[in-house]
Amino acid sequence: MRIIVCIKQVPGTNEVKIDTATNTIIRENVPAIINPFDTYAIEEAVRIKERAGAEVFGLSMGIPAASEMLKEAISLGIDKGVLMTDRKFAGADTLATSYALSRGIEKIGEYDLIICGKQATDGDTAQVGPSLARTLGIAYATDISKIIEIKSNKMCCLKITDDGYEEIEINLPALITVVKEINMPGLPSIKSMKKAKNSKIEILTFEDINADEDRLGLKGSPTQVRKTFVPVHEANNEMIEGTLEEKTEKLSDILLKLRTEVK
């Protein structure tokens, strides 16, 4: 079978520093990493490969430097990295991203399963998985915490929800998004790191993917950022001091008072 893992490069930290003089955001040059949820997607694809045999593609859309990240994904066990990079893809919201990825996937060809992380830590929208599945016209399920069984045309999974878990059966080809609970990613071996180093990442530009330009990048994005601002969190920062008895007394009073305000 063939599995495609969608991988996004995200900033290594979400810390936003504020320039108090101008009240604007300073984003230090933080190193880029594989979106944490995507590491579980990679690991799950690699486990299916080890269990049942599969060819695993890693697909990303981003700046040219993201090819280094795809090499890292190869060191983690995927077979081939494909990077979609073009100024025409830039400024894409989740709709334009899903469309672009769907064209990239079309270029890769036949597939049985697409695995995405539940969401990316820079946007937290969790939209690209479902949106991509709808664009491709295939089945999907979000927040998968366990793959119970894969057969040739069906797979059985556990899905985590607000209310507990659901056991579901999905027709293949399908797209799933995975949560942290699904596995514990392994570390790359020396051999796989060597393989990654010598690997070549396939680059796809606008010319390669047979896409409608109007549906890509900023042009294909219905949503617009009107304004960004740093939220003001004014914490009271009151430290409760005293002996253990005094501290617990004060804390109990505070909790009781807060509780009456809530209920």
Partner 1 sequence: MANIDIIKDKCVGCKRCAGACPFGAIEIVEKKATIKDTCTLCGSCVESCKFDAINFERDQVAEKIDLSEYKGIWVFAEQRYGRLKTVSLELLGKAKELSAVLNVSVTAILLGNGIHNLADKLIAYGADEVLVMDEDGLNDFNDHIYGEAIIDLIKEYKPEIVLVGATSKGRSLAPHISSALKTGLTADCTELSIDLESKLLVQTRPAFGGNLMAEIICPDNRPQMSTVRPKVFKPLEPDYNRKGKITKICKRPVEGLVKLVGNIDNAEGVGLSDAEIIVSVGRGMGSAKNIRLAKELADVLGGALGSSRPVVDMGWMPYSQQVGQTGKTVAPKIYIACGISGAIQHLAGLADIDTIVAINQDPDAPIFKVADYGIVGDVNEILPAVIEKIKQAKIT
CB of 147 to partner 1, least distance (A): 14
Tell me how far CA of residue 128 lies from CA of 83, 96, 172, 204, 259, in angstroms. 17, 9, 19, 19, 39
CA 212, CA 248: separation in Å to the nearest integer?
A: 65
Contact assessment for residue 99 and residue 137, using Cβ atoms and an 8 Å cutoff: no
Greatest Cα-to-Cα distance within the chain, rounded to the nearest angstrom: 72
* Closer by beta carbon to partner 1, 187 or else 190: 187
Instruction: Establish if 205 lies at the interface with partner 1 (CB under 8 A).
Output: no
CB of 17 to partner 1, least distance (A): 9
CB of 43 to partner 1, least distance (A): 14
CA 226, CA 152: separation in Å to the nearest integer?
A: 47
Instruction: Establish if 213 lies at the interface with partner 1 (CB under 8 A).
Output: yes
User: Between 15 and 54, how does the x/- string for binding to partner 1 read (CB under 8 A)?
Assistant: xx--x--x-xxxxxxx-----xx-----------------
Exactly one of 110, 149, 163, 207 binds partner 1 (CB under 8 A); which one? 163
| Tokens linked to 236 | 């009271």
Site for partner 1 in 225-244 (CB under 8 A): 225-231, 233, 235-240, 244
Sequence-ordered list of residues with C-beta below 8 angstroms from that of 11, at least 6 positions apart, any chain: 27, 30, 32, 33, 122
Instruction: Give the SS3 label for residue 18.
Output: strand
CB of 163 to partner 1, least distance (A): 6
Beta bridge partners of 204: 84
Instruction: Establish if 186 lies at the interface with partner 1 (CB under 8 A).
Output: no
**Beta-sheet pairing, 113-117 with 2-6:** parallel
CB of 171 to partner 1, least distance (A): 5
CB of 229 to partner 1, least distance (A): 5
Contact assessment for residue 230 and residue 224, using Cβ atoms and an 8 Å cutoff: no
* Closer by beta carbon to partner 1, 191 or else 227: 227
CA 163, CA 169: separation in Å to the nearest integer?
A: 18
* Closer by beta carbon to partner 1, 49 or else 186: 186
Exactly one of 51, 128, 186, 204 binds partner 1 (CB under 8 A); which one? 128
Contact range with partner 1 by CB under 8 A, out of 41-49, 106-114, 159-167, 193-201? 159-167
CA 133, CA 140: separation in Å to the nearest integer?
A: 6
Site for partner 1 in 71-110 (CB under 8 A): 87-88, 90-95, 98
User: Between 166 and 185, how does the x/- string for binding to partner 1 read (CB under 8 A)?
Assistant: xxxxxx--x----xxx----
* Closer by beta carbon to partner 1, 158 or else 193: 158
CB of 200 to partner 1, least distance (A): 21
Tell me how far CA of residue 76 lies from CA of 73, 114, 130, 205, 212, in angstroms. 5, 17, 25, 25, 34
CA 53, CA 25: separation in Å to the nearest integer?
A: 47
